Structure formats: structure tokens, C-alpha cells
Amino acid sequence: MTTLLVIAKEPRPGRVKTRLTPPFTPEEAAALAEAALADTLDAVARTPAERRVLVLDGTPGPWLPAGFEVVPQCAGGLDERLAAAFAMCAGPALLIGMDTPQVTPELLSVDLDGCDACFGPAADGGFWALGLAAPDPSLVRGVPMSTPHTGAAQRERLAGLRVRELPVLRDVDTAADAHSVARETPGGRFASLLGTLTAVERR
């Protein structure tokens, strides 16, 4: 079975989702980040997996469900931190972040048998998921992160491998992203909190 990796930051004001401010306050942005992380971890918890690992920058909080190993992120750029996460895995692994609370167990139940990798592009030019049948940190290390071309660069690293393409998802970076994602998954914690915050702002 696959190891599911979630790379995340502790949702603290001023450290997460800073592009949501404005219109939201740093405290509201952190609350939205916590809701997104909680929705993500819930989906992972309901997905069959050999291991579920939270690779965390910070300290776990009450948003962490049971059944997860928690390991600290290593030092260095995001590419180094992703590479280190894959290096922990002896078998197939799928890595996602905390920016796509619309993920579902169906999306995460990726069968890596018969392929070498799976790749989930993000609407902003990045990627929301990367799966490797035989995790090789060198496939991630050195990829320029957080640019409009990150997804293309990562996809190029997989050239020559048998790659299973996953659907395009939208990361939550801006307020417009947040509203778009909430409309896709109206029943989640993220959508519920966003609706409450938006209703308060409109008063």
C-alpha cells in the first residue's frame, strides 16, 4: 500500500496564508488555514494507506486526527523538504500539501501499480500532488518552487517515466481561490468557516 505524506505548516497568524490578508486578518487567515488542513487530514485519514505521515513545520494541534505519524520538516528550501519527505519512504508514496481542502479519498486512492509516478497539476502553475512508486528524492530536489512554472518543471523531471495524470485542482492562496474552492466542497470545515467570516464582513 501507499504511504500518504502531507507537508504543512502549523496554522499560526502571520505564518500561513499571508496572501489572504487583506481582506482577512492574520488571525482569520490562520483559522482558514487550520480549517483547510483539518479537511485535508480528514480526507487522508479516510483513505486506505500503509502509513499516514504529517511532515510539519511547527507543533501539532487539536486539528490533528489519530493515526498520523508526525515528523518535523528539515531545513532548506521547499524542494529539499519535499525530497526529505520522500526519502523517509521505502515503498510507494503520495505527497500533498495543505492548500487543497477539496481533496477526497477518491482522489487520493491512487494506484501506483503499473506506473512510475502520478502528478496532480494545480491551476496556478504548481502541483498539488506528486506520487512516486519508488521514491527518489533527486526527482524533486532542485525544482524551483513557488513559481508559475513549478508544475511544468516538476513534470519535466518525470520525463521518461510512466506517469498517471491526476485532475487539476485549485490551491487556496487568495480570497478568490478560497471562494472558488469553498463552492466545490460546501460541506467542509473550510467552506463553513469561510461562509461565516464572509457573512460577518458583509454586516
Query: pLDDT tens for residues 35-94?
Result: 999 999 999 999 999 999 999 999 999 999 999 999 999 999 999 999 999 999 999 999
What total of structural domains would you count in the chain?
1
What CATH number does the domain containing 106 carry?
3.90.550.10
Residue 107: what pLDDT? 96
Residue 199: what pLDDT? 65
Residue 198: what pLDDT? 84
Over residues 23-27, mean pLDDT: 96
Q: How many CB atoms lie within 10 A of CB 113?
A: 8
Over residues 169-193, mean pLDDT: 95
Closest CA to 3 of 92, 108, 64, 97: 92
The confidence band for 1, taking pLDDT boundaries of 50, 70 and 90, is confident
* Residues whose CB falls within 8 Å of the CB of residue 26, separated by 6 or more in sequence, listed in order: 13, 14, 18
Residue 77 lies in domain: 3-202
For residue 100, give the amino acid letter: T
Output the CA–CA distances (angstroms, integers) from residue 153 to 7, 79, 115, 157, in the order listed: 20, 12, 20, 7
H helix or E strand, kind and range, residue 6: strand 3-9
pTM value > 0.75: yes
